[in-house]
Chain A
Amino acid sequence: MRGSTPGLRRAAFGLCLLVSAGAAAQETYSFDVSAFEKKPFELSGYGELRGEAFELDQDAALYQLGFFDREPRSDFERGSGTLELRGLFRHGDTMAQFVGHSTYQDDFTGSAQDSRLYEAYVSHQPDSGTRYDLGKKTLSWGKGYAWNPVGFIQRPKDPNDPDLARQGFVIAGADFVRSFSGNLKTLAFTPLVVPTYGDANADFGGPLDTGDHANPAAKLYLLYKDTDIDLMVLGQGSRSARYGLDFSRNISSNFEIHGEWAHIGRTSRPVIGPAGSITPRESGATSYLLGLRYLTENELTTIIEYYHDGAGYSEDELSSIYAAVHDAYAQYQLSADPTALSRLRTAFQPVLMQPNPGRNYLYLRMSQNQPFDILYFTPALTVITNLDDHSYSVAPELTYTGVSNLELRFRVFWLKGDRLTDFGEKQNDRRAELRVRYYF
């Protein structure tokens, strides 16, 4: 049946060449691969310009905390420019990589420039199943899209921009991978240390940690029965001991589910005590996340995640903090004594400025791929709700990538909630943002 002999096959090839000549005559395509050979050194990255307009809520606790000693304002604009460079150098089985990130920002407070080395590490891979890493590297543990409770050795994500690159920590680690046939297809073990000696990883344990620690950690990954499963642990050191697991699995060609679970031995957060004083709340914490990604036939992608942060503030804790800020602000306006507000700012601003300081959240993102036959155009809508106090943020977004290497994104945030609620007490009520990014 098949033209399996070489002569017959070549004859058929000749015949097909003649037949396909007609089609080829219509349009001929060519492709020279020599430009894409592996090179010893590669450099890439992007440049970005971003304009933002903020409409402030002068009655909100976070406005009062941030602006009580500044000229009152109802809005402000901010412009920023970013350059991110990625470099790679190859030498045999060894590879050196770096990611540099520089930002220049200008708003009513003045201009500021910040440059950081996000990553700078060396990898040695003697064979396909073994790798050693040394240097500053960004790890991304967890399956969640907006949050990662098992992200024990990484900086927290911004759920409003979860795909942004983040700064890593200095590590020494290894990766051992084996593949099998059967239900268990892949088994990988990743041990590492995150040393805090001298200036290395000085912010890993937080401002109160001054000790030297090796901070051992490990992750075990299994691809078992078409399900990704990770088990991870971080030993006691600069951070308290913690362990967790995650999973993800495709249910069908358009439906994926994932989840994370983590337990942290000890967490500490400032709260308002019964007598109105600031006291630390210390406890263990269990956090978890359940999520799904669903794609309809007309290419509407929906991501839903429920996140319980065991260390987060309950509704009562958050409202007591906001009430304390309002009381201190009222007192300040009468007496011009900033002592109480300054004390609250020092204690709470670092925690409350995190995108989601509460305990229970629901994340919903819907993005429509190329609606109305417009290629490279993606409208999306993101809603983040604090399930305890029912406050929320809504962010419609438009992205266009039709021009090669250029990405345009416009989005607006609306924050809604009653007084003494999470999103109701944020610094701004509305924010508009235009981002232009060029890749090279």
Chain B
Amino acid sequence: MARSLYIGLITIVLAFTGAPALAAAKVDGDKLLREIDRSLNPESYEAYRKLINIEPDGRKKEYVLFTVKKGRDKLIALFLDPPSEKGRATLRLGDNMWLYIPGVGKPIRITSLQSVVGGVFNNSDILTLDYSVEYKAQKVEEQGKDYVLDLKARTGSVAYDRLVMRVDRKTLLPAEIRAYAASGLLIKTLHFSQIKDFGGGIVRPSVLETDSPLYKGYKSVMIWARIRARKLPDEVFTLNYLPRAGELR
């Protein structure tokens, strides 16, 4: 009886003090991150996205992208609109990124920190791979209804050195991601919202809003539409196929 009372007291104390940390300590951060990836997208899929850059005076500039992804590290993003960007296609194979511009006629290597479209989004935000491919979980904490994951870039070629990701514990969908440079500088904050059922078992946020202390007053919004699982041959994800990426629609 005394032993049970003692265990009960410890349980109550832990519940109000260190219990979340203990519980979180049992969570395999990298496994959790892989599950977060799968709650966002199938491993191989196609999707249409709209990017909106909003200036402090409310002016907007919009871009429409068609994206196909295969496996852990193969991805193509093709610009469908506006006409000034139409036909531009970016290919990502792991840490390698290329940009194809119709007038130039050949894909050129680009870096993940560059911005293809201007605004707050950079190439890494547009050519997003699974988080578990690029980041390793250093720490997981439970805070209220959320997990908070502290993620460290696996290599120096990843755009952001560190991410702090707040994830709903029940749905495993991200609500907010803060992206930091190696210097500790906060580069941008990504806010996920408007959860939508896309069909085929895909239920995820359809809107991603981004702001950055580097661009005060500016905001970028990414809207997802028509995400669906799709299998494609590996040869699609090559420089030779990139000029024909529009045929994948």
Partner-B contacts on A (CB < 8 A): 1-3, 8-9, 12-13, 15-17, 20, 23-24, 28-33, 36-38, 44, 46, 86, 90, 95, 123, 125, 127-129, 131, 138-143, 145, 162-166, 175, 177-179, 185-186, 188, 190, 221, 223, 226, 228, 248-250, 252-256, 258, 293, 295, 297, 299, 301, 369-370, 373, 375-376, 401-402, 404-407, 439-440
Q: What is the CB-to-nearest-CB distance from A140 to chain B, in angstroms, rounded to a whole number?
A: 4
- Let me know if B118 and A401 touch, CB within 8 A: yes
Q: What is the CB-to-nearest-CB distance from A366 to chain B, in angstroms, rounded to a whole number?
A: 14
- Let me know if B233 and A369 touch, CB within 8 A: no
Cα–Cα, bound, A183→B131 (Å) = 23
Q: What is the CB-to-nearest-CB distance from A83 to chain B, in angstroms, rounded to a whole number?
A: 14
Contact of B171 among A12, A30, A127, A186 (CB under 8 A): A12
- Let me know if B156 and A252 touch, CB within 8 A: yes
- Let me know if A295 and B113 touch, CB within 8 A: yes
- Let me know if A128 and B195 touch, CB within 8 A: no
- Let me know if A24 and B233 touch, CB within 8 A: no
Q: Can you give 19 A-B contacts (C-beta < 8 A)?
A: A2-B172, A30-B223, A123-B244, A166-B105, A179-B234, A179-B237, A221-B239, A226-B94, A250-B109, A250-B157, A252-B156, A253-B113, A253-B158, A256-B111, A297-B183, A373-B216, A402-B59, A405-B82, A439-B84
A-contacting residues, B86-113, CB 8 Å: 86-87, 93-97, 101-106, 108-113
Known: A16-B195, A163-B104, A253-B157. A36 touches B80 (CB 8 A): yes
Among all A-B residue pairs, the 7 with the closest Cβ atoms: A179-B234, A140-B106, A439-B84, A129-B235, A140-B105, A12-B170, A23-B193
The count of chain B contact residues (Cβ–Cβ below 8 Å) is 89
- A-side contacts of B39, CB under 8 Å: 2
- Let me know if A139 and B111 touch, CB within 8 A: no
Encoded as 1 (CB less than 8 Å from any A CB) or 0, chain B from 211 to 249 comes to: 000111110010111100000111111111100101101
Cβ of B199 under 8 Å from chain A: no
Cα–Cα, bound, A32→B80 (Å) = 13
Central interface residue in B81, B111, B118, B221, by most chain A CB within 10 Å: B111
- B-side contacts of A255, CB under 8 Å: 111
Cα–Cα, bound, A369→B224 (Å) = 27
- B-side contacts of A15, CB under 8 Å: 170-171
Partner-A contacts on B (CB < 8 A): 27, 32, 35, 39, 48-50, 52-53, 55, 59, 61-62, 64, 66, 80-84, 86-87, 93-97, 101-106, 108-115, 118-119, 124, 156-159, 168-173, 181, 183, 185, 191, 193-195, 197, 203, 205, 207, 214-218, 221, 223-226, 232-241, 244, 246-247, 249
Q: Which single residue of chain B is at the shortest CB-CB distance from A93?
A: B247
- Let me know if B218 and A375 touch, CB within 8 A: yes
- A-side contacts of B115, CB under 8 Å: 299, 369
- Let me know if B238 and A186 touch, CB within 8 A: yes
Q: What is the CB-to-nearest-CB distance from A230 to chain B, in angstroms, rounded to a whole number?
A: 10
Known: A163-B103, A179-B237. A13 touches B157 (CB 8 A): no
Contact of A24 among B103, B109, B118, B193 (CB under 8 A): B193
- Let me know if B82 and A1 touch, CB within 8 A: no
Cα–Cα, bound, A49→B120 (Å) = 30
Cα–Cα, bound, A226→B39 (Å) = 30
- Let me know if A293 and B215 touch, CB within 8 A: no
- Let me know if B238 and A44 touch, CB within 8 A: no
- Let me know if A1 and B27 touch, CB within 8 A: yes
Cα–Cα, bound, A221→B107 (Å) = 13
- Let me know if A28 and B194 touch, CB within 8 A: yes
